[in-house]
Amino acid sequence: MKRAGVLAVVMMSILGAAQQPTGAQGRRIGDFANVPGPPAITYVRCGTLLDGKGDQVRHNAILELNHNHITAIERHTAPAAADETWAKHKQEAVKPELGAAEFIDLSNETCLPGLIDVHTHVLLQGDITAEDYDKQLLKWSPEYRTILGTQSARKALEYGFTTIRDLETEGAGYADVDIKKAINAGVIPGPRMQVATRALDVTGAYPLLGYAPNVPVPHGVQVCDGADACRKAVREQIMYGADWIKVYSDRSYYIEPNPPAGISPAPVLNDIPTFTLDELRAMVDEAHRQRHRVASHATAYNGVHNSVEAGIDTIEHGDYISDADLKLMVQKGTYFVPTLYVGEYVAEGRAKAGAPVWLDMIKISADTFRRAVKAGVKIAFGTDAGGFDWNINPAVEFELRVKYGQTPAEALRSATVTASELLGMQRDIGAIEPGKLADIVAVKGDPLSDITVLEHVDFVMKGGVVYKKP
């Protein structure tokens, strides 16, 4: 059998074995020829409702859904009033012009908007050490990595993340575009996705590195040098389906013993910048000209400073950001996407591999996060899932955000309203309110008093279709 045929058989076997969500008449979403939509009318009863926009708590709410959108929210002052409305809806359930209504009782749960993670890598399966990364690029075929990527996407959805921004494929080409298409077509379950495809970096700055000059090896990014070549690379990635352009703006991190005058506070995490300011500006200009935005992997001083100066839209990681650059980010509306958990996850392994600075970076990034909260920077929720094992729930990030300065309501908002605004999808997602898509998750407990309950989502609805039930 040819390789393509083998891959098709393996894919169908995995997809068939996966738990499939159901829609009307119990048909499977994975039935490629006949993908069902959500029921015409659905009522969802929530014991507690957090709409995602703030810290206002509502009790005894009943949501009315029409196909894949929220059409109404009925609020009640007491459970008895909700009981009466619930019974009334059941009595009137059959509407000839719309079809039978469906009822979902979450009266013992807290309902929230579908969560949003704006920094993931579904095609990466953890890379604590260089050996982990090399294995995935050198020993795993792109086809195998794509199969694993479909499973990562399904896990993200089951964790409660109904939308993600996947920030590059790490050597797997444009496979993220195909995973996104397969999800949209109903072939596989997963969150709605915005993707960044291959990412961009300069010669000599990104793995795989360290091999003999006569041994050709793949890179985890698309390499470009010079403003014109980088502008062309942006055009190519957009042509092949990139929603975002991702650039790597720095590398080789170290503690600066003698920081330049005017940079505060200490200690300063410094770096070697990759792209020149002219190159960054060319990529930003080309992306913005084509109505696309740019995310910058910028971990330390120079990477962040150059990115903000160049007009990049989001700073990813940002372990160290000077006070002056935080102020400039507020002025320009630049989003900050810290990834606190992955920094702690990889620090020990990378320190053992000869980079002890990663242990120092934990404290520096926590301090930067506190200063960013205080400065009023727009902070969105991103985890770098894939940089750590997908069997770890990315919602572990919430606890660290609260530990380092956000209130639980602010942390939740970063994964709902703020994240939807970063994606330009605020009209459709990010809150539970009439007119929005029916992306709803539920947990037992109160996230505003214990943010860790978000690590135990037991109900997931995306676009009116239920993918996970208590």
Q: Would the pLDDT of 322 be above 60?
A: yes
167 φ/ψ angles, rounded to the nearest 5 degrees:
-100, 60
Cis peptide, bond prior to residue 265, ω within 30 of zero: yes
Residues 6 or more apart whose Cβ sits within 8 Å of residue 167: 119, 120, 121, 196, 199, 244, 246, 295, 316
280 φ/ψ angles, rounded to the nearest 5 degrees:
-60, -45
Q: Which token pair is 117? A: 């993670």
CA 354 to chain CA mean position, Å:
30
125 φ/ψ angles, rounded to the nearest 5 degrees:
-120, 40
Residue 129 confidence class, pLDDT cut points 50, 70, 90? confident
- Greater model confidence, 27 or 274: 274
Residue 347 confidence class, pLDDT cut points 50, 70, 90? confident
The model's pTM is 0.91
Instruction: State how far the Cα of 122 lies from the Cα of 149, in Å rounded to an integer.
Output: 5
Pairing of strands 57-66, 102-113: unpaired
What value does the mean pLDDT take over residues 191-209? 97
What value does the mean pLDDT take over residues 220-228? 98
Instruction: State how far the Cα of 229 lies from the Cα of 245, in Å rounded to an integer.
Output: 14
| DSSP type of residue 436 | S
Q: Would the pLDDT of 99 be above 80?
A: no
pLDDT score recorded for residue 96? 59
335 φ/ψ angles, rounded to the nearest 5 degrees:
-85, 145
pLDDT score recorded for residue 426? 97
Residue 424 confidence class, pLDDT cut points 50, 70, 90? very high
Contact 46, 62 (CB under 8 A): yes
Q: What is the pLDDT of residues 440-463, one digit of tens each?
A: 999 999 999 999 999 999 999 999
pLDDT score recorded for residue 165? 98
How large a percentage of the chain has pLDDT more than 90? 79
Q: Residue ranges of the domains in the chain?
A: 41-114+434-468, 115-394
pLDDT score recorded for residue 380? 98
Q: What is the mean pLDDT of the chain?
A: 90
Contact 62, 43 (CB under 8 A): yes
Residue 192's H or E segment, with its range, is strand 192-195
CATH topology for 41-114+434-468?
Urease, subunit C; domain 1 (2.30.40)
Q: Would the pLDDT of 22 be above 70?
A: no
Q: What is the pLDDT of residues 292-312, one digit of tens each?
A: 999 999 999 999 999 999 999
Q: Would the pLDDT of 266 be above 90?
A: no
| DSSP type of residue 28 | B
Contact 137, 218 (CB under 8 A): yes
Residues in the chain: 470
Residue 98 confidence class, pLDDT cut points 50, 70, 90? low
Q: What is the pLDDT of residues 367-408, one digit of tens each?
A: 999 999 999 999 999 999 999 999 999 999 999 999 999 999
Q: What is the pLDDT of residues 44-74, one digit of tens each?
A: 999 999 998 877 899 999 999 998 999 999 9
Residues 6 or more apart whose Cβ sits within 8 Å of residue 322: 263, 264, 268, 301, 304, 305
Q: Which token pair is 407? A: 């209130």
Convert 113-159 into a string of H (helix), E (strand) and C (coil).
ECEEEEEECCCCCCCCCHHHHHHHHHCCCHHHHHHHHHHHHHHHHHC
CATH architecture of 115-394: Alpha-Beta Barrel (3.20)
pLDDT score recorded for residue 257? 79
- Greater model confidence, 417 or 347: 417
Q: Would the pLDDT of 166 be above 90?
A: yes
Q: Which token pair is 344? A: 């702690």
For residue 32, give the nearest of 154, 153, 185, 181 by alpha carbon.
185
What value does the mean pLDDT take over residues 190-214? 96
286 φ/ψ angles, rounded to the nearest 5 degrees:
-65, -45
Give how far Cα 122 sits from Cα of 7, 153, 179, 403, 411, Å. 19, 6, 9, 27, 23
pLDDT score recorded for residue 36? 59
Pairing of strands 293-298, 314-317: parallel
pLDDT score recorded for residue 32? 36
